Amino acid sequence: MNQNEDLKIVIVVSASLGIGMATNRAAVLATGLAAHVPDMIGENLTTKDGSVLLGFTQIPIPILSLKSELSFHELVKKSKELECQSLVYLTRAQGLRSYQEYKDSIAQTTDADLDIDGIAIWGDKKLVNKIVGSLPSLR
């Protein structure tokens, strides 16, 4: 798959979140994406006069809002069915003090009981569009 032409990445957050919490989730998910999506980050760039600008994502990442009639668990399921990847943000992460606390809380929770309120999905453009095609942009 040609990374830039065939790959699509989206982030979906809960419509019930305020803009601050929604953008926080998008930022956290984007950092996770950088670790899991090969070649997502572009090379450093140099200006005409020699200033170096550090590279960032070379793949657009729309931020979408989940419609009330859908659930994040449905998005995860559809992603798996269509062989796309997903990365979730759990509501509980907002109030925990460490990653270890977060890890421990997940170990005590079944998959069906995960409190997802944000998700990043990536894979083939056409397949990702099948999953999120009807979702509106975050406003």
> What's the pLDDT score for residue 39?
86
Whether 32 is in a domain gets the answer yes
**Long-range contacts formed by 15-19: CB under 8 A, 24+ apart:** 15/65, 15/66, 15/67, 15/68, 16/117, 17/117
Whether 91 is in a domain gets the answer yes
Whether 83 is in a domain gets the answer yes
> What's the one-letter identity of residue 79?
S
Whether 138 is in a domain gets the answer no
Whether 137 is in a domain gets the answer no
> What is the C-alpha separation between 45 and 58, in angstroms, rounded?
12
> What's the pLDDT score for residue 102?
94
> What's the pLDDT score for residue 4?
64
**CATH number of the domain bearing residue 58:** 3.40.1490.10
Angle at 22 between CA 122 and CA 31, to 5 degrees: 45
Name, in order, each residue with C-beta under 8 angstroms of 68's C-beta and a sequence gap of 6 or more: 15
Helices (H), the chain: 3-6, 19-36, 72-81, 99-107, 125-132
> What's the one-letter identity of residue 124?
D
pTM score of the predicted model: 0.90
Number of domains in the chain: 1
> What's the pLDDT score for residue 67?
84
Whether 98 is in a domain gets the answer yes
Per-residue pLDDT of the chain (139 residues; tens, 9 = 90+): 445 679 999 999 999 999 999 999 999 999 999 999 988 999 999 999 999 999 999 999 999 999 888 899 999 999 999 999 999 999 999 888 999 999 999 999 999 999 999 999 999 999 999 999 889 999 8
Whether 139 is in a domain gets the answer no
Whether 54 is in a domain gets the answer yes
Q: Which domain, by its residues, includes 18?
A: 3-132
